[in-house]
Amino acid sequence: MKIAILDDYQDACRTLTAWQHLAGHDVTVFRDTLEDTDALVRRLAPFEGIVLIRERTRFPAALLDQLPNLRVLSQTGKAGPHIDVAACTRLSIAVVEGSGSPYATAELTWALVLAAMRRIPQEVANLKQGGWQQTLGTGLRGRTLGIFGFGKIGSVVAGYGKAFGMNVLAWGRAGSLERAAQAGVTCVQSSAELFSRSDVLSVHLRLAPETRGIIQASDLSLMKPTGVFVNTSRAELIAPGVLAQALQAGRPGFAAVDVYEEEPVRAANHPLLALGNVICTPHLGYVERDGYELYFGAAFENIAAFAAGQPKQLANPTYLEHRR
């Protein structure tokens, strides 16, 4: 099968043990991200299979309709709203999806929590410029960690908070509250209580129509002036523009962000990058070798199974009714 792997910024795929699953296939790796539909059509037209690295490239119907050779999209992790699955089904394109580990993102989340609370990036920059102890950080023990969305990643982050001696609160949908209660985590009565009580508030929600823009300016305004807002999930969970405005207004006082509405962020053209009270990282949550082996191992196995006529892990099993 003629396969394309998109958006492999570091050219990491070829270095993985998982690469062996693609033996015998004609594989092309692209390291850049294209957003123009016409450019994507020209690039992708020859390929029968495409491996997607998370949501780095969108596949709406307008693009899919112009890829007549495409037979399968293999998603690292779960297929999300960046793929028009209904259009894939209509066009008899299989969408196969895999799984990953919550630990890489949870660990990055905790690194950001520590960095923000202790002002580590600021002090590193100050030291390189000849400064010495320019800020006064804040410890974690005895303070309150709020978890918005108690799923796989949120539950791991809650465990880290407990290990650091923090008081952990949770809020979310019924399933989140049930899981939090089973884990011995205090469930608050409302999102307003979570935002107002948390010294650190970390978001761990999946992006879906009902969660898009779920965090509004009114929520952020409830946070403490000393509070830290952490988002390693999805930027679109926050209403457009309100995080930068809230940080400029001083509630919350700080933020640590790993995700953005449009990625990759080019140069210093994002409003958060201009603020001194924000730590910004380039969507590193799942970007580490063990996590890549899991994500790509599943994605490569799935596309190889499809090529062998044994499709599995289908996000659209009814594509078979339109099979060409």
Q: Give me 106's structure tokens.
A: 């949870």
Mean pLDDT of 188-204: 98
Chain length of the chain: 324
Find, among 118, 114, 80, 74, the residue nearest to 97 by Cα.
74
If one counts every other C-beta atom within 10 angstroms of the C-beta of residue 208, the result is 13
Q: What is the pLDDT of residue 268?
A: 75
- pTM exceeding the 0.75 threshold for the entire prediction: yes
The active-site residue, picked from 107, 123, 193, 263, is 263
Q: Find all residues with CB under 8 Å of 148, minimum gap 6, and list them.
A: 154, 170, 171, 172, 191, 194, 201, 202, 203, 204, 205, 215
Q: What is the pLDDT of residue 258?
A: 98
Q: What is the pLDDT of residue 99?
A: 83
The active-site residue, picked from 119, 197, 283, 301, is 283
Q: What is the pLDDT of residue 225?
A: 98
Q: What percent of the chain has pLDDT over 90?
A: 92
Pairing of strands 167-171, 2-5: unpaired
Split at pLDDT 50, 70, 90, the class of 34 is very high
Q: What is the pLDDT of residue 295?
A: 94
C-alpha to C-alpha distance for 165 and 81, rounded to whole angstroms: 37
The tens digit of pLDDT for each residue in 133-180 reads 999 999 999 999 999 999 999 999 999 999 999 999 999 999 999 999
Q: Report all structural domains of the chain as residue ranges with CATH numbers, in order of start.
A: 2-100+289-322 (3.40.50.720), 103-280 (3.40.50.720)
Q: Find all residues with CB under 8 Å of 283, minimum gap 6, and list them.
A: 258, 259, 260, 263, 264
Instruction: Clarify whether 283 is annotated catalytic.
Output: yes
Strand (E) or helix (H) holding 279: strand 278-280
Is the pLDDT reported for residue 233 higher than 90? yes
Split at pLDDT 50, 70, 90, the class of 84 is very high
Instruction: Clarify whether 289 is annotated catalytic.
Output: no
The active-site residue, picked from 54, 204, 234, 270, is 234
Is the pLDDT reported for residue 322 higher than 80? no
Mean pLDDT of 53-59: 94
Q: Are 319 and 95 in contact (CB under 8 A)?
A: yes
Give the full edge-to-edge strand order of the sheet including 200-203. 186-187, 167-171, 144-148, 200-203, 228-231, 254-257, 278-280
For residue 210, the 8-state DSSP code is T
Phi-psi region for residue 58, left (φ > 0), alpha (ψ -120 to 50) or beta?
Answer: beta
Q: What is the pLDDT of residue 109?
A: 98
C-alpha to C-alpha distance for 204 and 46, rounded to whole angstroms: 38
